Structure 1
Amino acid sequence: MKEILVLYYSQHGSVREMARIVAHGIEQTSGIKARIRTVPKISTVCETVEPAIPDQGAPYAELRDLEECIGVALGSPTRFGNMAAPMKYFWDGTSSLWLKGALVGKAAATFTSSASIHGGQETTLISMMLPLLHHGMIMVGLPYSEPELNNTLSGGTPYGASHVAGSTGEKPITEDERKLCLALGRRLAETALKLAS
């Protein structure tokens, strides 16, 4: 069975929940399984401060996860309109894959969560796209044929799924946000399968 990597970093749990929903959307496509992974927190001196294996939740991602999967769904909370440092740190360590073109032609999608509706969701999604594009990946977004994209009063963009979580992650994922996460997962899986065949 072919797999798609759902790689995320989450601080208060919103992005982790979005990753679960995106994975569910991926697995609605026949012949595809989601492989959920996370990245560890880092200190201000860029040394890992987390244990080698997480106590709970998804395992930490390894470079082989990127190589073995036919696509990537990438999620991070918004940090001043940018991906969180732990996710950036992970991608900064993927040069060996770039040198051999290991991700060229694979499908990718992005998702994010912010404290407020104007918290930089779209620029965060684009910031996550940059390393993926440098790796030669093919981006999948959300078209306006998804009715929730026009209806949402919280998260949701054509660049990828998003969620407005509140300052401490207290706001649950809305029905529109959930449907857009599912749609993103399905679109990514369908595209990845076509590109892999």
Structure 2
Amino acid sequence: MVEILVLYYSQRGSVHALAQQLARGIESMDGATARLRTVPKVSPVCAASAPEIPAVGAPYVEAADLAECVGLALGSPTRFGNMAAPMKYFWDSTAAQWSAGTLTGKPACVFTSTASAHGGQESTLLSMMLPLLHHGMLLLGLPYAEEALSRTRSGGTPYGASHVAGSEGDPTLTDDERQLAFAQGRRLAAIAMKLGS
């Protein structure tokens, strides 16, 4: 059984909903399982720290999660066209894994959610790809062979799965968003398994 790490940060539930769909796609492949992990919020008070285990949701990511996974799906909400600070803060702490080549050669994909259709989805997805490229990962997008990519009127880009939450932050995925996230997770698992054989 191979494990794919689904690492995400979600404040209002939309990225969490996408992460669950990617995990379903991963686990639709025989021999693959998803390991869901998150990152803690960044505190504006320097001395503050988060509890070691979150009260709800996925456990916090650890260095072992990066080492033990055969692939990675990375998700974050959009913050001014960039990944959220907690996710950036996590990647800024991975110099030891970068130096050791922990993620080198492993496949990865990215996903996001925004409040509006033109809220920076693609630039956020691209910003999340940068640390993965520095880690030597192999980036996967969503091909237009996925029919939902051509018909979607909500989220979904060739750079990765996405969701348009609206100004109220509705985490309910559309059928196309759900289908694309599932397909992205399935594709990531299939390629990770091929690379591992």
Query: Shorter-chain-normalised TM-score: which range?
Result: over 0.9
Range with bigger deviation, 149-158 or 46-55: 46-55
- Given that residues 40 and 48 in structure 1 are in contact (C-alpha distance below 8 angstroms), is that contact kept between their aligned partners in structure 2? no
State the partner residue of 1:87. Answer: 87
Give, in angstroms, the shift of residue 169 of structure 1. 1.3
Give, in angstroms, the shift of residue 43 of structure 1. 1.4
Question: What stretches of structure 2 of length at least 5 have no aligned partner?
Answer: none
State the partner residue of 2:187. Answer: 187
State the partner residue of 1:162. Answer: 162
Secondary structure of 1:153 counterpart: coil
What amino acid maps onto 2:97 in structure 1? L
Tell me the TM-score normalized by structure 1.
0.97
**Percent identical across equivalent pairs?**
65
Shift in alpha-carbon separation, 1:194–1:47, aligned structure 2, 3 A? farther
- Structure 1 runs of 4+ aligned residues shifted over 6 Å read none
Give, in angstroms, the shift of residue 50 of structure 1. 2.4
State the partner residue of 2:9. Answer: 9
Deviation digits for residues 88-131 of structure 1 (CA, Å, limit 9, x no counterpart)? 00011111011011111000000000000000000000100000
Shift in alpha-carbon separation, 1:47–1:108, aligned structure 2, 3 A? farther
Shift in alpha-carbon separation, 1:165–1:47, aligned structure 2, 3 A? farther
Give, in angstroms, the shift of residue 170 of structure 1. 2.0
RMSD across aligned positions (CA): 1.1
Matches within 5 A, 1:8-27: 8-27=8-27
- Given that residues 106 and 196 in structure 1 are in contact (C-alpha distance below 8 angstroms), is that contact kept between their aligned partners in structure 2? no
Tell me the TM-score normalized by structure 2.
0.97
Shift in alpha-carbon separation, 1:167–1:50, aligned structure 2, 3 A? farther
Deviation digits for residues 48-90 of structure 1 (CA, Å, limit 9, x no counterpart)? 5421110111000001101100000000000011000000000
Secondary structure of 1:105 counterpart: coil
Question: What stretches of structure 1 of length at least 5 have no aligned partner?
Answer: none
